[in-house]
């Protein structure tokens, strides 16, 4: 009986070890998990994945920071601009897909993204309807820029001369974000109706709205399978539309992947790279960052220089070509990762990686990203660079976190089955070794007793 148990343990140990190695090499359970996830994330009308894609299941918050001009008169005299950051003004961002259409026998889907903002007083520093911000008169700067390149030159010059406009204006946060009726734009609108009389950084769902044909169209461009490129930049590669809108990514992400997104702020595709492992409410996540090379003054980015060959330097991007000619330059907050000359030109700039980097935390199994301070700032292209920056974050409620933890834990258990089998094989191997040693000890003891008995006899 003892010998039978001995051989059984040894055989079982060997079989378990061989089986575990075979499962690891063939990736049986990993492939099964991958196939299950890929099957469940297909956008079928009525499925849970489709509902999550159509309407973001997690609350998204957008926080806006403004730079208030504190020395306008001194600036006009040639002194260094002094800015004071004011914020945050926090809004709940509701994301929905509209005009959803399936094509190619259900293998493709197109949609238009819509974002609605609801003010959250508890997470804000003040009331956006009453708090005043002194800033550059962007409509006037835009009209001046149009006067240089449009056939409206004589009209705009006459209007600017007749209506004494100042370089600085004061408006409420609400007006700057969502729009107000501008005097110059209203007059131009009479002669050119496609120019809206209203201006706002997010007027009509756009980051800049000096025209009726605003940036909302990018959502349909991004999701329209018939349009693969833009016409804003000087090379075909720079005009390519790559990646997602950043709301979600494909599942089963590897940290070795380079992910592409098309953020509307940048008017171009950018890529993000893995930087570190992280966790959000106990859920594992990959942290992806926007690398410094995205806005670096390199030959690879030469196609983004507008006009061709007119590169401003590292850390900034002239996006006036997609803002209807408005003199707008974009950078990371406080000119983070930009040339030092931009930072030193203005008092009040304090770039800091902890507060101003752009990153996104992605769970490698699910398709939804969370906890992503995606930040950027808009900069009128003048000596004084007035800014607004936006910080987005996703909050996971306990119910969603619990559901995702269950999914992650189940996935981990299934994919680790080969290691569990291997551990059992090692355990039985240790038992086999112990039995072998014990059996050898018993045999030695019997042999010694037999020799002693023979000598005595």
111 or 6, higher pLDDT: 111
Q: How far is CA 413 from CA 188, 279, 406, in A?
A: 65, 19, 11
Question: What percent of the chain is predicted at pLDDT more than 90?
Answer: 15
State the average pLDDT over residues 424-431: 80
State the average pLDDT over residues 87-97: 85
Please name which of 418, 417, 343 lies closest in space to residue 385, comparing C-alpha atoms. 343
Please name which of 152, 187, 372, 166 lies closest in space to residue 261, comparing C-alpha atoms. 372
Q: Tell me: the pLDDT tens digits for 362-375? A: 877 665 555 444 55
Q: Tell me: the pLDDT tens digits for 390-412? A: 666 665 656 666 666 676 677 77
Task: Find the range with the poorest average confidence among 270-284, 316-330, 340-354, 391-405.
Answer: 391-405
Instruction: Please say if the pLDDT value at position 259 is more than 70.
Output: yes
437: Cβ–Cβ under 8 A, 6 or more apart, which residues? none
- Residue 1 pLDDT: 52
* Cβ 310 vs Cβ 297: under 8 Å: no
pTM (two decimals): 0.71
- Residue 215 pLDDT: 27
Task: Find the range with the poorest average confidence among 189-203, 329-343, 376-390, 436-450.
Answer: 376-390
Q: How confident is the model at residue 416 (pLDDT cuts 50, 70, 90)?
A: confident
137: Cβ–Cβ under 8 A, 6 or more apart, which residues? 165, 166, 167, 168, 169
- Residue 37 pLDDT: 64
State the average pLDDT over residues 302-330: 85
* Cβ 398 vs Cβ 56: under 8 Å: no
Q: What is the average pLDDT score of the chain? A: 75
């Amino acid at each position: 009986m003892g010998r039978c148990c001995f051989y059984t343990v040894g055989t079982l140990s060997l079989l378990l070890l061989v089986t575990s190695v075979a499962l690891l090499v063939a990736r049986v359970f990993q492939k099964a998990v991958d196939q299950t996830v890929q099957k469940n994330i297909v956008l079928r009308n009525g499925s849970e994945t489709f509902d999550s894609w159509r309407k973001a299941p997690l609350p998204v918050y957008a926080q806006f920071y403004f730079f208030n001009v504190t020395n306008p008169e001194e600036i006009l005299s040639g002194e260094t601009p002094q800015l004071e950051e004011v914020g945050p003004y926090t809004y709940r961002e509701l994301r929905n897909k509209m005009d959803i259409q399936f094509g190619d026998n259900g293998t493709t889907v197109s949609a238009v993204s819509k974002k609605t903002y609801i003010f959250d007083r508890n997470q804000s520093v003040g009331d956006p309807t009453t708090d005043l911000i002194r800033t550059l008169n962007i409509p006037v700067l835009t009209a001046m820029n149009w006067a240089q390149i449009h056939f409206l030159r004589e009209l705009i010059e006459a209007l600017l001369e007749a209506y004494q406009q100042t370089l600085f204006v004061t408006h409420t946060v609400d007006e700057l974000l969502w729009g107000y009726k501008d005097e110059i734009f209203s007059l131009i609108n009479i002669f050119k109706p496609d120019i809206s009389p209203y201006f706002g950084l997010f007027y009509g769902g756009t980051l800049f709205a000096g025209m009726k044909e605003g940036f909302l169209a990018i959502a349909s461009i991004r999701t329209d399978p018939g349009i693969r490129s833009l016409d804003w930049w000087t090379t075909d590669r720079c005009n390519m539309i790559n990646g997602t809108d950043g709301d979600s990514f494909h599942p089963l992400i590897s940290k070795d992947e380079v992910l592409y997104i098309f953020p509307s702020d940048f008017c171009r595709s950018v890529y993000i790279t893995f930087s570190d492992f992280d966790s959000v409410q106990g859920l594992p996540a990959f942290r992806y960052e926007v690398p410094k090379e995205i806005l670096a003054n390199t030959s690879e980015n030469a196609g983004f220089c507008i006009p061709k060959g007119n590169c401003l330097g590292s850390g900034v991007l002239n996006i006036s070509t997609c803002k209807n000619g408005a003199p707008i330059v974009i950078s990371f907050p406080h000119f983070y990762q930009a040339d030092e000359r931009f930072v030193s030109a203005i008092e009040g700039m304090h770039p800091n990686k902890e507060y101003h980097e752009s990153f996104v935390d992605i769970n490698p199994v699910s398709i939804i990203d969370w906890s992503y301070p995606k930040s950027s700032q808009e900069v009128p292209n003048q000596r004084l660079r007035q800014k607004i920056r936006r910080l987005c974050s996703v909050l996971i409620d306990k119910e969603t976190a619990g559901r995702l933890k269950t999914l992650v834990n189940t996935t981990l258990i299934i994919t680790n089955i080969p290691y569990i089998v291997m551990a059992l094989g090692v355990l039985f191997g240790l038992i086999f070794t112990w039995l072998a040693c014990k059996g050898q000890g018993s045999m030695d003891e019997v042999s010694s007793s037999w020799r002693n008995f023979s000598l005595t006899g």
